[in-house]
Structure 1
Amino acid sequence: MHTMWKGSISFGLVNIPIKMHAATENKDVKLRQLHKECKSPIKYEKVCPVCDKEINNDEIVKAYEYAKNKFVVLDDEDLEALRKEQEDRAVEIVDFVKLEDIDPIYFEKSYYLSPNEGGAKAYSLLRSALKDTGKIGIAKMMIRSKEQLAVIRVYENVLVVETIHFPDEVRNVQDVPNVPEETKIGEKELETAKMLIEQLTTEFEPEKYTDEYRTALLNLIEDKKNNEETSTPTLTEKPMPDNVTNLMDALQASLDRAKKDKPKPSQPKKKTKTTLKKKKATS
């Protein structure tokens, strides 16, 4: 399993060197966009609208737009120094709370933690302590140049980091439009709804839930492939201007023009008998 990040977790005087691994993966079926006419993949280019030219990555800088079309440019050196300053700090558990105290709306992404060299005993200590107390740790950490609020808990037999949103990242429910106020509901309707919930209540078994759309889409793709309903674009490269070619074209055009414009040589006059007699007389 790929290691995304290395660091340490501390609580009190206990320090645990750890490695972090992604706990989930996106299995969405990614579809490419093709030109309908020739089935060639569409290219996406970074173009400057003012200079009207394609821009390379080394010509791009980061900036914050604090007002319309007004930017503060941030150098890579500034961002790197700030990121390094935060990453050098250990992931410190600052509080312990109950898992049920955190609403699921706060949860973002899960990562597995494994002990790094020399950290097995401290790892096991924290795991056992969390299990026995039924608590989770609240910590801060840097992931991909972003400070994250996180919880550390036990999942099966592994320590897991769950990144969670900061409170100001969760939108105010008062801003949700068209939410009805408390509506009077008939007692019979409510009791029927509660009975239905009870009948459908069961133990959570994640294995029985599957992505039916993804399965159907993959089956459709496989059927089309087996039936040879496929497309292969005819990739043709645009002829690039070549100095040698241009020179030869110019030379050939010049030669053709020179031949066309060159005056025809005059035909020599035929010598007559009179002319020959004059030459003899002169001699």
Structure 2
Amino acid sequence: MHTVWKGSISFGLVNIPVKLHTATENKDIKLRQLHKECHTPINYQKVCPGCEKEVKDEHIVKAFEYTKGKFVVLDEDDLEKLKKENEDKAVEIIDFVKLEEIDPIYFERSYFLAPDTGGGKAYSLLMKALVESGKIGVAKIMIRSKEQLAVVRVYKETLLMETIHFPDEVRNVQDVPNVPSNPSVNKKELDTALMLVEQLTTTFEPEKYHDDYRTALMELIEEKKAGKETVTSIGKQPAASNVTDLMAALQASLDKTKKKTPAPRKRQSKAKKNA
């Protein structure tokens, strides 16, 4: 697993060196956008509408728009310094609470925590303490220039950290439109609904749930591939920013070398030579 963060977790005087690994992955099928006429992948450029020209990354600055059209430009050095000051801090568990006290709306993303060199014993100690107490730890961590509130809990004999939203990031439920203020439901309707709930009640088994749309989309793609319903770009494709397919890169290199190597001249037959 790829390490996304290295640091330590502390609770009281206990310090645990750890590595952070993403616990989930996005399996959405990514579809490219092609030009309908020549099937060339569309390339997106950063263009300044004021100057009407493409802007390179080194000419872009970060800013906060405090009112429409007015900005505070933030110096990259100041942002880096601020980020460094917060990243240097360990993940400090500040409270221990019960998991059921946190509504699922707060949960954001999950990460596996692995002990780093010399952290095995303290790692096991924290895990055992969480299991025995039935509690989870509430902590703060800096990830990708953003301070995150997080919880540390045990998941299948492994420490798991889940980032959670700060309270001001959860929108006010009172702002949800068209919610009935005084719902009226008669007893017969409620009894029927409760009966249906009872009939559909079961034990949660995550393995039985599948992404039917993704499966159907992949089947459609495979059908079209098998039926040769494919297209080839006839336009010049933009150069890739990084090579992800090693075999494709090696084959491209071989093809390029073959084009550059001049074909050997055919030897003339003795009959032609003496003619």
With normalisation by structure 1, the TM-score equals 0.82
Residues 40, 236 of structure 2: 8 Å contact kept: no
Tell me the alpha carbon deviations over residues 19-43 of structure 1, each in whole angstroms, 9 at most, x when there is no partner. Answer: 0000000000000111112111111
Query: Which deviates further from its counterpart, 47-56 or 19-28?
Result: 47-56
SS at match of 1:4: strand
Query: Partner of 1:12 in structure 2?
Result: 12
Paired with 2:89 and 2:185, the residues of 1 have a C-alpha distance of 54
Query: Partner of 1:85 in structure 2?
Result: 85
Paired with 2:31 and 2:5, the residues of 1 have a C-alpha distance of 30
Q: Say if 2:142 is the partner of 1:152.
A: no
1:182 CA displacement: 2.4
Question: Residue 113 of structure 1 aligns to which amino acid in structure 2?
Answer: L
Paired with 1:187 and 1:30, the residues of 2 have a C-alpha distance of 48
Question: Residue 146 of structure 1 aligns to which amino acid in structure 2?
Answer: K
Query: Which deviates further from its counterpart, 67-76 or 160-169?
Result: 67-76
SS at match of 1:96: strand
Question: Residue 89 of structure 2 aligns to which amino acid in structure 1?
Answer: R
Q: Which runs of 5+ in 1 are unaligned?
A: 238-283
Question: Residue 233 of structure 1 aligns to which amino acid in structure 2?
Answer: S
Query: Among the aligned pairs, what percent are the same residue?
Result: 70
1:236 CA displacement: 4.3
SS at match of 2:113: strand
Question: Residue 188 of structure 2 aligns to which amino acid in structure 1?
Answer: K
SS at match of 1:234: coil
Query: Partner of 1:202 in structure 2?
Result: 202
Tell me the alpha carbon deviations over residues 100-154 of structure 1, each in whole angstroms, 9 at most, x when there is no partner. Answer: 0000000000000000000000000000110111100000110000000000000
Q: How does 1:206-217 map to 2 (within 5 A)?
A: 206-217=206-217
Query: Partner of 1:59 in structure 2?
Result: 59
Residues 18, 119 of structure 2: 8 Å contact kept: yes
Question: Residue 93 of structure 2 aligns to which amino acid in structure 1?
Answer: I
With normalisation by structure 2, the TM-score equals 0.85
Number of aligned residues: 237
Q: Say if 2:105 is the partner of 1:105.
A: yes
Q: How does 1:30-69 map to 2 (within 5 A)?
A: 30-69=30-69
Q: Say if 2:193 is the partner of 1:193.
A: yes
Paired with 2:234 and 2:29, the residues of 1 have a C-alpha distance of 25
Paired with 1:209 and 1:182, the residues of 2 have a C-alpha distance of 35
Q: Say if 2:161 is the partner of 1:180.
A: no
Q: Say if 2:119 is the partner of 1:130.
A: no
Question: Residue 188 of structure 1 aligns to which amino acid in structure 2?
Answer: K
CA RMSD for the aligned pairs? 0.9
Q: Say if 2:134 is the partner of 1:142.
A: no
1:17 CA displacement: 0.3
Moved over 3 A (4+): none
1:176 CA displacement: 0.5
Paired with 2:236 and 2:166, the residues of 1 have a C-alpha distance of 51
Query: Partner of 2:267 in structure 1?
Result: none
Paired with 2:13 and 2:193, the residues of 1 have a C-alpha distance of 52
Residues 141, 148 of structure 2: 8 Å contact kept: yes
1:235 CA displacement: 2.0
1:220 CA displacement: 0.3
Residues 39, 235 of structure 2: 8 Å contact kept: no
1:71 CA displacement: 0.8
Q: Say if 2:233 is the partner of 1:233.
A: yes
Residues 149, 166 of structure 2: 8 Å contact kept: yes
Paired with 2:139 and 2:236, the residues of 1 have a C-alpha distance of 55
